[in-house]
Each structure stands twice: as C-alpha cells, then as structure tokens.
C-alpha cells in the first residue's frame, strides 16, 4: 500500500477555518482524514501540507512513526505551531487509514480502550457563534450558563476574566468574584466549572488576584492563568493559589510538557492533538503527565474531525480526565459529515466501534462552506488606555 495524494479541505466556521487533511492511498476507496485547524493561519498550514508531500508520496502509510520522523527530521528547521499542525493533520489521517485497513477503531491500535465513555465539557451555549453573553450582566450570564447545562452537560468552561495588564483593578476583581459566586449558586455543586484566562494577566500577581476571587467556587481548573512558555512562573503561581491550574494548548513538544511535569507547574495538561503531532505526540505527552501524577484534559474547540480524533485518544488514555468540545460552534457542524461519532449522552461521548476514526467528511457538503477570511475576535483585545492586550 502506498500514499498517492494528500489533499486539504477547508470549511469556514466563522471565527476559524477548519482544515481537514485527506491522505489517499493506491487501494481503491481507502483514505484517511485528519484535522490541522490553526486559527487565523489557514493559508500557512495548507501551504505547509503541500511542502510536506515530497516526504510522503509513494511511502507506506502504515509506517506512521517512520513518516512522522521524515516530516519532522527532514524539514531541518524547527516546525513550530504551523508546521506541527500540518504534520498533526497528516499523522491523524495515517491512523485513520490503518484502522480502516485492519477493520478496527483507532483506539484498538493504541492498546485498547480503558474506558467505555468519555466525559466532555462545552463552552457557554455550546460555543454557538452569535449566542454569547457578556459578563457585565450577571443575571443574564447565569441564565446562559443554566441553559448550557440543560443541554445535557455536567461541566462547562467559562470566561470570567477581562482583558488584563500587569495589575488587577479592585472593582474588576470584585465583579469577577460576584460573577463566579452567582454562577456556582445557579448551577449547584453537581456541575464542574472551569475558567479560561487565555493568558490575559501579564503578571503573576494579577493572575493570583483573579484566581483568589474565583477559588471559593472550587473550579475544576483555571486554564492558562498566564501566558504559556514561562514554566517557572507558572510553577511559582501554582504554589501561591488554592485552585488547580491547567495549560498546554499552546505547547507542542514532549520537551515542553516535560518541563511542566518536572516542575509540577499545573495539575492538568491540555495537549491539542491538532498541533502536538497527533496521536504520536499526544501519547508521549500523556505518558509524561502520568509519570508526574497529572491528568490530561485535551484541548479541542475545533471541527468534527478533531473531535473524532480526541475521542479515540481519550478512550485509550489512562490519565484522561475530561474533553473539551464545541459541537455547537456553527449550524453546519454535523452537516458536512457522512459518518459522525460525537453524540452526547448524559454528558459523555460513547466509545466508537467503526473502523479508523469513525468519521467521514462529505466533501460535496463541505464545499458549500469554502474558505473565507475569519472574523477575528482578538482584534478587540485592548486595555482601557488602548494598550493591546492578550486575547
């Protein structure tokens, strides 16, 4: 069996373009799907997929580790977020091919499933674009959270913290404290609440002020309280606060996660399989975390193929905790799939049984939503004095 073509299919999802990667073989009808979505870098990622083709065409798709090494070692220059996203989409598609060829779901190739179902969480109103609610009106925000829970979720991630600088103004901190308390009171103790800071605070002290305000509601974790990459600072912060911390969506390599594990900088890591070299990188990262006693909560606010990939990974990963999803992002989330494994039942996804990833993209349906320049919410990220802030 040989690889004969590698194609990309781009589907516009308003705030991002989903980048699906299709690897085609010389066996009639046998192909694999992956997802390499990287917000606001669509053209760069699809071009990188083209650049990687010479390392793959004519090769045996079953030699996954060998092909990953060809893509990463032959590239010479460190690949970074764009390059590793392209590699990740291709790598996932290779596993899809292998599972289909052997007639088994990918989780069987990862050592078998360790659980029967996968707990998931979503964002406010399932991340539906145009249906978000600002934090200024606490009552309206709580109504939206309650509505989300009533969709069948027992866990939800929310954004409590505004664009921030090096300080945390007292009125803002007090509002965040009231908002968090109101949300907890509304949903009760049976719903896990997570909050994503997006790395907005630019100092440890500012981050700590907001975390301390949220701590009384006992969130499952506080995500990216400071910008990723400064692991010593994250470890310092972790020792100053009472909340579990999480990070990892903007880390890509086992070495980066090893530093997090070595310093016990967070309680949970959040690798994104669309950026960390898919299953190959994700498995290494999960093993590093397990050795350090850390749970895995994979990042994934992207398209249906990324969700299918995450589901296979989660089923077979012992230290998995909870999975992010955003299946309500756009109305056509499911319409572009001719096979789809991501049905929510009592707050869980069920272990899939179909061969490969268990998902197929309907390319004719996908073509109805071609690439468009995304609406970029980060363009609004500014402090009151006009200083550009971290989105």
Indicate the range of 101-105, 224-228, 338-342, 378-382 predicted with least confidence.
Answer: 378-382
Helix or strand (DSSP H, E) at 107 = helix 106-109
Give the number of other Cβ atoms within 10 Å of residue 65's Cβ: 10
Distances (CA, A) of 316 to 88, 95, 300, 313: 18, 14, 17, 6
pLDDT at 231 (0 to 100): 97
- Does 214 score more than 90 pLDDT? yes
Q: What is the spatial distance between Cα 137 and Cα 146, in angstroms, rounded to a whole number?
A: 14
- Does 302 score more than 90 pLDDT? yes
pLDDT at 379 (0 to 100): 85
pLDDT digits (tens, 9 = 90+) for 252-284: 999 999 999 999 999 999 999 999 999 999 999
pLDDT at 380 (0 to 100): 87
pLDDT at 130 (0 to 100): 87
Whole-number percent of the chain with pLDDT over 90: 96
- Do strands 268-269 and 117-123 pair parallel, antiparallel, or not at all (unpaired)? unpaired
- Read off the tokens for 39: 């917000």
- Read off the tokens for 219: 């969130």
pTM for the complete prediction? 0.97
If you average pLDDT over residues 168-183, what whole number do you get?
98
- In our burial notation (b when 16+ CB lie closer than 10 A, e otherwise), range 264-299 reads ebbbbbbbbbbbbbbbbbbbbbbbbbbebebbbbbb
Annotate 139-154 with DSSP letters as a single string: HHHHHHHHHHHTTT-S
If you average pLDDT over residues 18-29, what whole number do you get?
98
pLDDT at 55 (0 to 100): 97
* CA gyration radius, the chain: 20
Angle of helix 278-291 versus helix 254-263 axis, rounded to 10? 10
- Of the two residues 76 and 213, the one the predictor is more confident about is 213
- Read off the tokens for 371: 């690439």
- Is 374 buried (19+), middle (13-18) or exposed (0-12) by CB count in 10 A? middle
pLDDT digits (tens, 9 = 90+) for 27-76: 999 999 999 999 999 999 999 999 999 999 999 999 999 999 999 999 88
If you average pLDDT over residues 122-126, what whole number do you get?
96
pLDDT at 257 (0 to 100): 98
If you average pLDDT over residues 301-328, what whole number do you get?
97
- Is 333 buried (19+), middle (13-18) or exposed (0-12) by CB count in 10 A? buried
- Does 378 score more than 90 pLDDT? no
If you average pLDDT over residues 128-135, what whole number do you get?
91
**At 121, is the secondary structure helix, strand, or coil?**
strand
Helix or strand (DSSP H, E) at 85 = helix 80-102
- Does 155 score more than 90 pLDDT? yes
* Beta strand residue intervals within the chain, DSSP E: 3-12, 17-25, 31-35, 117-123, 155-158, 192-196, 221-223, 245-247, 268-269, 295-296, 323-324, 337-339, 344-345, 348-350, 360-361
Which residue's entry shows tokens 């609610």?
Answer: 133
- Does 377 score more than 90 pLDDT? no
- Is 338 buried (19+), middle (13-18) or exposed (0-12) by CB count in 10 A? exposed
pLDDT at 162 (0 to 100): 95
Q: How confident is the model at residue 290 (pLDDT cuts 50, 70, 90)?
A: very high
- Read off the tokens for 375: 């609406």
How much is the mean pLDDT over the chain? 97
**Active site residues per annotation:** 198, 299
- Read off the tokens for 293: 């006693």
- Read off the tokens for 272: 């994104």
Q: What is the spatial distance between Cα 192 and Cα 221, in angstroms, rounded to a whole number?
A: 9
**At 245, is the secondary structure helix, strand, or coil?**
strand
pLDDT digits (tens, 9 = 90+) for 159-173: 999 999 999 999 999
Contact between 72 and 65 (Cβ < 8 Å): no
Contact between 6 and 56 (Cβ < 8 Å): yes
pLDDT at 150 (0 to 100): 97
Which domains are seen in the chain, by residue range?
A: 3-105 (3.30.390.10), 109-353 (3.20.20.120)
């Amino acid at each position: 069996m040989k690889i004969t073509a590698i194609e990309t299919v781009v589907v516009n999802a308003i705030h991002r373009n989903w980048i699906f990667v299709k690897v085609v073989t010389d066996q009639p009808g046998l192909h694999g799907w992956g997802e390499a979505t990287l917000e606001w870098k669509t053209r760069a990622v699809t071009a990188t997929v083209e650049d990687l083709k010479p390392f793959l065409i004519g090769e045996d798709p079953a030699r996954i580790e060998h092909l990953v090494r060809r893509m990463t070692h032959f590239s010479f220059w460190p690949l970074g977020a764009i390059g590793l996203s392209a590699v990740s989409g291709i790598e996932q598609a290779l596993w899809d091919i292998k599972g289909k060829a052997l007639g088994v779901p990918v989780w069987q190739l990862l050592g078998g499933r360790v659980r029967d179902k996968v707990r998931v969480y979503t964002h406010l109103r399932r991340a539906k674009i145009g249906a978000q609610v600002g934090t200024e009106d606490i009552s309206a925000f709580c109504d939206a959270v309650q509505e989300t829970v009533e969709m069948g979720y027992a866990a939800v991630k929310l954004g409590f913290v505004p664009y921030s600088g090096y300080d945390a103004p007292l009125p803002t901190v007090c509002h965040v404290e009231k908002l968090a308390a109101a949300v907890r009171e509304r949903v009760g103790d049976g719903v896990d609440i997570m909050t994503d800071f997006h790395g907005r605070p630019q100092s440890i002290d500012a981050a700590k002020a907001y975390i301390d305000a949220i701590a009384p509601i006992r969130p499952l974790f506080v995500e990216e309280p400071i910008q990723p990459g400064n692991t010593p600072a994250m470890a310092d912060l972790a020792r100053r606060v009472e909340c579990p911390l999480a990070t990892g969506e903007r880390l890509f390599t086992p070495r980066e996660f090893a530093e997090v594990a070595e310093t016990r900088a967070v309680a949970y890591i959040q690798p994104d399989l669309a950026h960390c070299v898919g299953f190959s990188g994700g498995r290494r990262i999960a093993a590093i975390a397990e050795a350090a006693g850390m749970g895995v909560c994979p990042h994934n606010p992207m398209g249906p193929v990324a969700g299918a990939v995450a589901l296979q990974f989660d089923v077979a990963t012992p230290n998995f905790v909870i999975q992010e999803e955003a299946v309500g992002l756009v109305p056509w989330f499911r319409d572009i799939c001719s096979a789809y494994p991501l049905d929510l039942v009592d707050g869980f996804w069920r272990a899939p049984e179909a061969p490969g990833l268990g998902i197929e993209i309907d390319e004719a349906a996908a073509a109805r939503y071609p690439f468009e320049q995304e609406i970029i919410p980060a363009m609004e990220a500014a402090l009151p004095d006009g200083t550009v802030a971290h989105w």
